[in-house]
Structure 1
Amino acid sequence: MKENRVIWIFLILTQFAFSQIRGVVKDSISGEPIPYVNIWVENETIGTTSETNGSFSLDIKEEKLLVFSALGYESKKSSSKNEIILLKPKVFELNEVVVTFPKKTKELEIGEAHKVHISQLSGNKPWIYAKLFNYDEKYMETPFIKKIVFYSNSDIKGAKIKLRIFGINDSIPSEDLINEDIIVTVKEGMKKNTIDVSSYNIEFPKKGIVIGLEWLIIEENKYFFTYKDPKTKQKVSLENYAPSLVINHSPDEISFTYSKGRWYKHKRHSSNYKKEWNNKVDTPAINLILTN
């Protein structure tokens, strides 16, 4: 009887300590659910992504302030007690612009990304891994972005990841240049992914452009990563979300991480593992294919 009491007390305390909050994100005008919304606990690394039906869940210990961010919508902060979150669509001012269309007679691939068997796991946070492409005058002959290439290594079939395209301001990624979700489905294993973005007619900005890959913390991306603990020699299984992203090592500080509601620039680091990595920056393996 005493043992049973101990078990019940443990279960009650566990449920209290790790309560799960659930909710749905919807468009404030149409009432339609919004998929793939980036959701963070304010100023913390805890986060998730809304599913295709707008639903989400988070395991948190107490009431928190959540930050909701989605392309085409105004960001919103809301208490974790609220079950329905309404996001307001952004109103975009249309400036008078001269529209030019690519001829697509030339191509130039830039970025020096290549396939290596080193990759970055996502963990279980909807963070963004990004790479800066600085402008060069030689791009004047091929000023439009035709395709985006990135290398992935996925443990599951059909993992989804969100492609983001940013401007840059004061050495930090700024506004999205495309105000709609570009969801990419990658195949299992080590793959080269090529995404045609020519329909957006993106002209290479003189300040540079940042290409980001945002992990989606959704059920269809979930798998368990198993490794052997070097100390205990025991197998450990951790929840993770596909796909992993291939990493290159750059001599230039051109990579960023978006986490806890802000951008962090990656710095050069010392490496004792391989000399060729020493004083280099971990950078996602991303290339651009330009056209005229």
Structure 2
Amino acid sequence: MKTFLSLLLFFTIGIATIQAQVVHGVITDSITKEPVPFANVTLLKKDRGVSCDVEGRFEFDLNDEKDDLLISSVGYENKVISPKDYKGELHIALVQKALALNEVVIDYKKKKYSGTKRLGLSRKYKVQKSIPFGTEFCSYIENSEYKEGKVKAVYLDLKKEKEFDYHASYNIRFYEYDELEKKPGKELYGQNLIIYPDNKTYELKIDIDSLNIAFPRNGICVGVEVINTRYEGKLKSMAVIAPRILFTHTERKLVTWSRYRNKEWKVDTTKSQVRNDFVNAMINIDVVTEK
């Protein structure tokens, strides 16, 4: 009887250990060896993952998943880790992309520019959305003058969430517009731009004039990645994230995309449920263009 109970206890503990497999590690820059803060760690085939903390550390409960892990961050090449490597603490080094910040900085001081223009979708018939951690939504803003310039500021309309589970931070990202694939293309800025919004109803202005981010002739794609910089441990699913982000009704324009932790972009322009319109992300920018 004792032998039977011992075997039963052994198998029960073994099964629980397998089901509760936790992967933990640290992500660093392959050259500087410095930590990569807020990097993404996600299953390759499923949309489930976590963010690193400011020191590049992460802990991820796999729940007996056999999927590969996708490791990614702004300005770095993606890296895939096989399940056979899930032993002990993982030390993962990411390689910087060829396009670095200093390669996209132009000597703007020698150029003459127009006055500041506000570009983006109109602010009417707004739609409130609670965006989960790990999701990035992105909006294409066209350049009707087809002149090069630079982006001076980004604007988001936010709505206070009275009852919520978590308070979000944002990572603001910038991309070329890929006219062939008709979606966001190469990164224009290779560093994190972390913003800590208040949970209130207001227009959030993000001043980026000093970053000298290019405004290409064919327009720009601006992304907002909703990230966790405040909470540790396993977070609840189906959580309400504050503040809410306002989208807007438009005519049929496919100018919004979303993705989970740097995976493939998916069109996220949706049909309105209350109007004969479509819903798109309402990201506005201030720009100056060459005279």
Give the alignment's TM-score, normalised by structure 1: 0.77
Q: How many Å apart are 1:128 and its aligned residue?
A: 0.9
Partner of 1:64: 67
Q: Which residue of 2 aligns with 1:89?
A: 96
Alignment of 1:1-292 (within 5 A): 13=15, 16-60=18-62, 61-79=64-82, 81=86, 83-92=90-99, 99-101=107-109, 106-114=115-123, 118-124=127-133, 126-137=134-145, 140=147, 143-153=149-159, 155=161, 159-169=168-178, 170=180, 171-220=182-231, 238-251=238-251, 252-259=253-260, 261-269=263-271, 271=273, 274=274, 276=275, 278-280=276-278, 282-292=279-289
**Alpha-carbon distance in 2 for matches of 1:208, 1:96:** 15
Mean alpha-carbon deviation: is it higher for 91-100 or for 50-59?
Answer: 91-100
Residue type at the aligned position of 1:215: V
* CA RMSD in angstroms, aligned pairs only: 3.6
Following superposition, the deviation at residue 192 of structure 1 comes to: 1.4
Contact 1:257 1:263 in 2 (8 A): yes
Secondary structure of the corresponding residue to residue 239 of structure 1:
coil
Q: Percent identity?
A: 21
Q: 1:158 to 1:59 in 2, by over 3 A?
A: closer
User: What secondary structure sits across from 2:210 in the alignment?
Assistant: helix
CA distance, structure 1, for counterparts of residue 266 and residue 53 of structure 2? 27
User: Structure 2 counterpart of 1:259, which letter?
Assistant: Y
2: CA distance between counterparts of 1:84 and 1:118? 42
Could you list the per-position Cα deviations for residues 110-130 of structure 1 after superposition, in whole angstroms to 9, with x for gaps in the alignment? 213538774322334x12101
**Structure 1 unaligned runs (5+)?**
226-236
Distance in 2 (alpha carbons) for counterparts of 1:50 and 1:220? 11
- In structure 2, relative to structure 1, the CA distance for the partners of 1:85 and 1:97 (3 Å cut) is closer
| Number of equivalenced pairs | 270
Contact 1:42 1:66 in 2 (8 A): yes
- SS of residue matched to 1:262: coil
Is the 1:22–1:58 contact (alpha carbons within 8 Å) kept by the matching residues of 2?
yes
Q: Quick one: distance in 2 between partners of 1:259 and 1:238?
A: 15
Which AA in structure 1 matches 2:158?
S
TM-score (norm 2): 0.77
- Sort the Cα spacing of 1:289 and 1:53 in 2 relative to 1 into closer, same or farther, 3 A: same
Measure, in 2, the Cα distance between the counterparts of 1:96 and 1:26: 24
Q: Distance in 2 between matches of 1:133 and 1:194?
A: 17
> 1:155-200: CA deviations, max 9, x gaps?
5797421000010112110111011111111011223111112123
Q: Which amino acid aligns with 2:67?
A: K
